[in-house]
Structure 1
Amino acid sequence: MESSSSGSCVQGTVYHWIVLFAVWLCGSQHVLSQKTTLEPKDKFLLSDPPIGLFDPIEISPSVLPHNPNPVEPLSPMYPNYTSYDPVLTGKCHVNFSALSYTIDKTASDCSIPLAPLVADVICCPQVNSLMNIFQAAYGSGNDTLALNQASANACFSDIMSILASKGANTNIPELCTLRPSNLTDAACPVKDIASFEKIVNVSKLIDACSSVDPLKECCRPVCQPAIAEAAIHISSGGANMFGSSSIPGSVAGIDVVSDCKGVVHSWLSMKLSSEEANSAFRVLSGCKVNKVCPLEFDEPSSVVKACAKASSSTPSCCAALHSYIGTRQKQIFVTNLQAINCATMFGSMLQKAGVVEDIYGLCDIDLKDFSLQAFGQQGCLLRSLPTDIEFDNTTGISFTCDLSDNIAAPWPSSSSVQSLSLCAPEMSLPALPVSPKSGSSGTSRTGIGVLLPLVFLTTTISI
């Protein structure tokens, strides 16, 4: 009886926090309108928007939900999402019904309450994939691989209207740094299908990208170099690139090659099914996203001061460390590989500033501490492989967390971030640290998906 009672207590505690987490996410769209005064130390520092669709994605802080009292749950809010007929421009001549698979998936991955929280790893990669596939759908009847500016303006507006009508967040352009010009690839000199297929070795390209292996592509790429080779080739119109004024590596050359990659993506989308193209683009995007840490780390002077001579008898060090990491999370989810990057980057900063001891181990810092926390209690790391938001009328919105146990954050062996390698020579994907709770059996819960159902009690989504 005691065992049964104990198990029920644990289950009740877990259920309690999941419900709190669901309620908080339900209210995130309303939090956007709350006015909160930020102190200088709380402001976000972001780099310039990236170039190209598959560069690391920057998230605009203006669309991130902010809870000034993260230890206290927000009041329950139950949004009601009902699909409606969008108002279109009438100037974008595309059969949107033929794109329903990709559009529906994008609307789900960028749903109103979750889009700001998963923009970097789920929403924006899926939106970029939709843009590539749409570009191909538009050009297939016009012998072109890109849109002119007038058509791009109309079609971009229609795409966003359709997504919004299916429950997607209306801030997608700001979240993902997208604009109509992404559909034009204006700087690329080759945009028609006939010229493209004369210049590029299309058999080699389609062989490399028709089936992208998600377990190998990021560490032993096949499709990525094929796309880059084709883009560089058409960037000079098929001529000798060294005789062109837009030499790859120059500022102008980088812009041209970036736009030409968009043309290559469009051509691939024409040759592959929507499912195949979407899968390939999500894998390629994931390779880029997982190489970086999306969190910004300001000068950690408070941590350095408290931890320069850290030991088990200096609780002030752990207090300073937990406080600093808590302000770095930016209220977004990160993948397990991004968390490793973040832990390594921050640890290297501390080492360079004079912190010698492994304060991650001293203060029980886990990888999940670098991802979104539900009121300081529940952390979730997303899988490094492409993940989608799922919805059904029974469970509501849900997604899969990669780790079901507390995995210790790795303290870097060197102050140089360059020493980090996420691709072991004998492995397709890097091994995550093994949980100390796994015991002598050698069985780790790392990689076992845990489904967190976010049940909207009074919500009905019709897609």
Structure 2
Amino acid sequence: MSYFQFYHFLRGSMCHQLLLFIIYLSSFRDVVALEMSFESTHMASVSELASPPSTGIFYPIEISPAVIPQYPLPNESLPPMYPTFPTAYEPVLTGKCPVNFSAISNILSKTASDCSQPIAMLVGNVICCPQFSSLVHIFQGFYSFSSDKLVVQNAVANDCFSDIMSILASRGANATIPSICSIKSANLTGGSCPVNDAMTFEKMVNSSSLLEACSTVDPLKECCRPICQPAIAEAALRISGGESSMENKDAGQGSSRVDVLNDCKGVVYSYISRKLPSDVANTAFRILSACKVNKVCPLQFKQPSEVITSCRNVAAPSPSCCSSLNAYIAGIQRQMLITNKQAIICATVFGSMLRKGGVMTNIYELCDVDLKDFSIQEDAAYGQQVAGCLLRSLPADVIFDNTTGYSFTCDLTDNIVAPWPSSSSVSSLSLCAPEMSLPALPTSETMKNPGCRGVGLEMMIPIFSLFLFSAILC
């Protein structure tokens, strides 16, 4: 099947926007089979699709790379987001960090994949930075495994951090991760926390209770009925030494109480990673990170003055209002990929700004603004319209292999209308009532524009040297 035949095939589906996104971002190298099994919500007309499938199963479509257009300007440099497969190489280490890095090779590889060079900026808040932070905690515990210390010595912290970054970069990671995630070598040292050895830690903390609380973290319950988080907070409070730590010169003159507690939390994480298998600790740390990142909207909103002016007095669909609203949202769609829960918060935050400006009507509904509209929709470099992707709220990783490239999970929430806030305040917003609740998935009665949805919907096509796997909300 040629590229153009495949294109016309895609046009026959109400899911074509997502699939065109996939084609646009495709690596144009090796295209694997597409297999989809789902509840069909729309069947193209005969005029749209000459031979519509009689079942809900699309058998593999084989496309020869020879018929797929290559990058048209070979003499010019590739655009920043043009897909490439990273070239692995042997890192040059300082030789001053007394650690056998091969023992934590799996965690290093996972972090390199989650923070891969092409997409680290896009998934930093949700995938890359939580995993990089977890690696730092695990390295702290591993570094001092044969000693009584829970942190990396100041004398070698810079060298160890440099070696970590060299190894990650050699495996395809973005070299700017420390800047993206605001993590530096000092995070390995325990900072201003007055306790940094295991013996003192175990004298002050009920370590068995701490490990019991954090050895098996429930990804669905921890964010709403936390068990591990309060155990870590209590342990950090105990080893911080109360207000007396503020008088300790080793705690750092001028450091705030918050800084001491945060540094002590790092020591607690180090103790946990020292006692638990690295994969178990990594899973726990990622779940705790998910609880944190899903509580806030990471997008930046400028004052929506034009939207307020255009939409303040509307009571019915208004071209000028919707045009202004769409133009504003197009700007924030260039920022980053966010999770479904973050999208709910972002929609509420932005809606609250509009209500505060006098927009009382639910313009999300009037202008068909969906949750996915708050995640990346457009390639800023080329202005290509693409379908939206909301990442799942549960911890997820970017996967890489030498054949298929990178992959991560998207939730297809095409027809879930963005929630309009009931007031100009967001203080009452809670995703824990009922626990981990999200807007209801659309039904045939409520869907305005039928799209692709359903249980077990999976797509496997390389995009942007990535794969998108669609699924219903977790």
d(CA) in 2 for partners of 1:287, 1:369:
23
- 2:113 — aligned with what? 108
Q: Is residue 9 of structure 1 aligned with residue 17 of structure 2?
A: no
d(CA) in 2 for partners of 1:84, 1:381:
33
1:184 to 189, 194, 215: 189
Deviation per residue, 1:46-94 (Å, 9 max, x gap): xxxxxxxxxxxxxxxxxxxxxxxxxxx9699453421111000000011
d(CA) in 2 for partners of 1:412, 1:90:
56
Report if aligned partners of 1:108, 1:167 keep a CA contact under 8 Å in 2.
yes
- 2:356 — aligned with what? 352
- 1:43 — aligned with what? none
Offset of 1:310 from its aligned partner? Answer: 1.5
Report if aligned partners of 1:235, 1:256 keep a CA contact under 8 Å in 2.
yes
Whichever residue aligns with residue 138 of structure 2, its letter is I
- 1:416 — aligned with what? 425
Question: Matched residue of 1:221: which SS?
Answer: coil
Whichever residue aligns with residue 269 of structure 1, its letter is S
TM-score, normalised relative to structure 2: 0.78
**CA gap 1:412/1:204 in 2 versus in 1, 3 angstroms:** same
Deviation per residue, 1:220-276 (Å, 9 max, x gap): 00000000000000000xxxx3565479xx962111110000000000001110110
Q: Bigger CA drift: 250-259 or 190-199?
A: 250-259
Report if aligned partners of 1:405, 1:435 keep a CA contact under 8 Å in 2.
no
Q: Bigger CA drift: 373-382 or 292-301?
A: 373-382
Q: Is residue 454 of structure 1 aligned with residue 454 of structure 2?
A: no
Whichever residue aligns with residue 22 of structure 1, its letter is S
**CA gap 1:302/1:12 in 2 versus in 1, 3 angstroms:** closer
Report if aligned partners of 1:404, 1:448 keep a CA contact under 8 Å in 2.
no
Q: Is residue 328 of structure 1 aligned with residue 337 of structure 2?
A: no
d(CA) in 1 for partners of 2:9, 2:113:
38
Percent identity among equivalent residues? 54
d(CA) in 2 for partners of 1:108, 1:256:
32
d(CA) in 1 for partners of 2:177, 2:128:
8
Whichever residue aligns with residue 294 of structure 1, its letter is P
d(CA) in 2 for partners of 1:255, 1:354:
40
Larger helix percent: 1
Report if aligned partners of 2:18, 2:387 keep a CA contact under 8 Å in 1.
no
Q: Bigger CA drift: 199-208 or 368-377?
A: 368-377
- 1:400 — aligned with what? 409
Question: Matched residue of 2:291: which SS?
Answer: helix
d(CA) in 2 for partners of 1:414, 1:268:
42
Report if aligned partners of 2:317, 2:367 keep a CA contact under 8 Å in 1.
no
Report if aligned partners of 1:404, 1:450 keep a CA contact under 8 Å in 2.
no
1:92 to 72, 93, 97: 97
TM-score, normalised relative to structure 1: 0.80
Whichever residue aligns with residue 190 of structure 1, its letter is V
d(CA) in 1 for partners of 2:81, 2:348:
37
Offset of 1:447 from its aligned partner? Answer: 8.3
Report if aligned partners of 1:401, 1:450 keep a CA contact under 8 Å in 2.
no
- 2:160 — aligned with what? 155
Summarize the alignment of residues 38-437 of structure 1 with structure 2, pairs less than 5 Å apart: 77-236=82-241, 241=242, 245=246, 252-374=256-378, 375-424=384-433, 426-427=434-435, 429-437=436-444
Question: Matched residue of 2:134: which SS?
Answer: helix
Offset of 1:311 from its aligned partner? Answer: 3.3
Report if aligned partners of 1:205, 1:227 keep a CA contact under 8 Å in 2.
yes
Deviation per residue, 1:405-462 (Å, 9 max, x gap): 32110101121101211101x43x122343254769xxx948867556435679xxxx
d(CA) in 1 for partners of 2:81, 2:227:
48
Report if aligned partners of 2:22, 2:463 keep a CA contact under 8 Å in 1.
no
- 2:60 — aligned with what? none
Report if aligned partners of 1:348, 1:416 keep a CA contact under 8 Å in 2.
yes
Question: Matched residue of 2:226: which SS?
Answer: coil
Report if aligned partners of 1:22, 1:454 keep a CA contact under 8 Å in 2.
yes
- 2:63 — aligned with what? none
Question: Matched residue of 1:82: which SS?
Answer: coil
Structure 1 residues without counterparts, runs of 5 or longer: 25-72, 459-463
Question: Matched residue of 1:278: which SS?
Answer: helix
**CA gap 1:251/1:355 in 2 versus in 1, 3 angstroms:** farther
Report if aligned partners of 1:122, 1:388 keep a CA contact under 8 Å in 2.
yes
Whichever residue aligns with residue 186 of structure 1, its letter is G
Offset of 1:151 from its aligned partner? Answer: 1.1
**CA gap 1:77/1:235 in 2 versus in 1, 3 angstroms:** closer
d(CA) in 1 for partners of 2:460, 2:303:
34
Report if aligned partners of 1:91, 1:155 keep a CA contact under 8 Å in 2.
yes
Offset of 1:212 from its aligned partner? Answer: 0.4
Whichever residue aligns with residue 85 of structure 1, its letter is E
d(CA) in 2 for partners of 1:351, 1:77:
40
- 1:46 — aligned with what? none
d(CA) in 1 for partners of 2:129, 2:81:
28
Whichever residue aligns with residue 347 of structure 1, its letter is G
**CA gap 1:15/1:346 in 2 versus in 1, 3 angstroms:** closer
Structure 2 residues without counterparts, runs of 5 or longer: 1-7, 29-77, 249-253, 379-383, 467-474
**CA gap 1:246/1:212 in 2 versus in 1, 3 angstroms:** farther
d(CA) in 2 for partners of 1:75, 1:133:
32
Offset of 1:325 from its aligned partner? Answer: 1.1
**CA gap 1:87/1:245 in 2 versus in 1, 3 angstroms:** closer
d(CA) in 2 for partners of 1:447, 1:132:
37
Question: Matched residue of 2:12: which SS?
Answer: helix
d(CA) in 2 for partners of 1:155, 1:101:
17
Report if aligned partners of 1:295, 1:342 keep a CA contact under 8 Å in 2.
yes
Offset of 1:14 from its aligned partner? Answer: 4.8
Deviation per residue, 1:338-373 (Å, 9 max, x gap): 000000000011001100100000000000000011
**CA gap 1:6/1:395 in 2 versus in 1, 3 angstroms:** closer
